[in-house]
Amino acid sequence: MPKFYEGDLDGSFFRLAIIVSRFTEDITERLLEGALTKAKEAGVSDSSISVFYCPGAFEIPLVAEALASSYSYDAVICLGCVIRGETSHFDYVAGECARGIADVSRLYRVPVTLGVITAENRSQAEARAGGSKTNMGSDAMEAAIRMASLFEGF
């Protein structure tokens, strides 16, 4: 019989870093609220969470790299919001942010989760920040805790 491994939602032993983009702050603060609520539900103490603010989504990977490379945190949660405008700026920012986050996670073998909304318009973003769809901050926190737990197994 094979052995099966899966991370759980007991975050009581983890130190977590949350990066929050200031751009579209009304949305990203809702993502932060969702992440903090999920962390509390998982038993993470407030003293085990550090929150870092950066200007926009494009800057998130650099902050994530600094935090992951310090090995001071069991996981890094990245929260931001990029809404499509009239130019191709959206494509560059959203793509580089997601790629950078994935690269940091693989390079340092630290779970770095993507809680960055990429939306066509403000109503889509609001729906994914605790509105009618979900709260991507909560989802990213859950993924981070589960991945940190999984990584304890090997």
Active-site positions?
A: 89
100-133: b (≥16 Cβ within 10 Å) or e: bbeebbeebebbbbbbbbbbeeeebbbebbbeee
* Pick from 119, 48, 122, 35: nearest CA to 79: 35
77: Cβ–Cβ under 8 A, 6 or more apart, which residues?
A: 16, 17, 18, 19, 35, 112, 113, 115, 137, 140, 141, 144
Pairing verdict, β 49-54 and 16-21: parallel
3-state class (DSSP) for residue 47:
helix
